[in-house]
Amino acid sequence: MRKSWWKILGLVMVALSIVGGFLGPVPELPILHETIRNVYFHVPMWFTMLTLYLISVIYSIKYLSSGDTKHDLIAVEAVNTGIMFCAMGLLTGMLWANITWGEAWPNDPKLNGSAIATLMYLAYLVLRNALEEEQKRAKISAIYNIFSFPIMVVLIYILPKLTDSLHPGNGGNGTFGDLDMDNYMRPVFYTAVIGWILIGTWICTLRYRIRLIENKRNQIDTHS
């Protein structure tokens, strides 16, 4: 129980945010209307993705300094889990855009930057599968991963602020927190963000454990 408290907390927080997100009151706003409830789902997906990618970078750096295979496995599983949340973030964003902006994928710098960043991380996974020698694969992919993270931050968060963008908080637009979220929405939103980050971390640890078991099984098969 001592080791699982944060997993239980994550489940409880996500459950509360889902109930509060669907049933709680929201401000009456033009254009957004009830779609503002998507802020409880769309934005936490991106926060979770960023957290997992940051974990991956940290363990890629640790691998380069230690050569410990476990650090490399954590790095790749953090990316694998982050890609899942990236896909959910894109899908919820496209649904929201289709309702509020009239099309699922308008020509917006933040959307285009998100697409490029997603392709970069998919390329990271392709790169790992293309290299057979274990140490070479781990070193090259670690270096690639370390450079990908700051590029992603530039594409998603810096460039959209320097040009016109439909997204809140970019291109001179105010953020949801400044303009649209009231004192009821903010606690539900932050509960959702923290809860989903905990769930994402939990999924990453499960994937890491499965990868360890697979590696041990492969080593046994190789020696037998």
- What is the sign of the dihedral through the CA atoms of 169, 103, 154 and 121? positive
DSSP sequence for 88-126: HHHHHHHHHHHHHTSSSS-S-HHHHHHHHHHHHHHHHHH
Q: How far is CA 59 from the centre of its chain?
A: 16
pLDDT greater than 70 at residue 172: no
pLDDT greater than 70 at residue 221: no
- What is the sign of the dihedral through the CA atoms of 98, 81, 139 and 137? negative
Q: Distance between terminal CA atoms of the chain?
A: 38
- Read off the pLDDT of residues 39-84 as tens digits, 9 standing for 90 and up: 999 999 999 999 999 999 999 999 999 988 899 999 999 999 999 9
Average pLDDT, the chain: 86
Position 59 scores a pLDDT of: 96
From the list 45, 42, 32, 44, the residue with the least C-alpha distance to 101 is 32
pTM reported for the whole predicted model = 0.89
> Pseudo-torsion of CA 31, 37, 38, 43, nearest 10°?
110
Position 174 scores a pLDDT of: 47
- In sequence order, the 6+-apart residues with CB closer than 8 A to the CB of 4 are none
pLDDT greater than 60 at residue 169: no
Mean pLDDT of 140-168: 85
- 35: tokens are 């779609």
Position 35 scores a pLDDT of: 79
pLDDT greater than 90 at residue 102: no
From the list 77, 162, 161, the residue with the least C-alpha distance to 121 is 77
pLDDT greater than 80 at residue 156: yes
- The single residue listed with the structure tokens 């499965």 is 210
- Read off the pLDDT of residues 106-150 as tens digits, 9 standing for 90 and up: 888 888 889 999 999 999 999 888 887 888 889 999 999 999 999
Angle between the 185-223 and 69-100 helix axes, to the nearest 10 degrees?
Answer: 140
**Which has more pLDDT, 161 or 37?**
37
Position 58 scores a pLDDT of: 96
pLDDT greater than 70 at residue 220: no
DSSP sequence for 161-172: GGS--SSTTSTT
Angle between the 42-66 and 134-153 helix axes, to the nearest 10 degrees?
Answer: 140
- 23: tokens are 């049933």
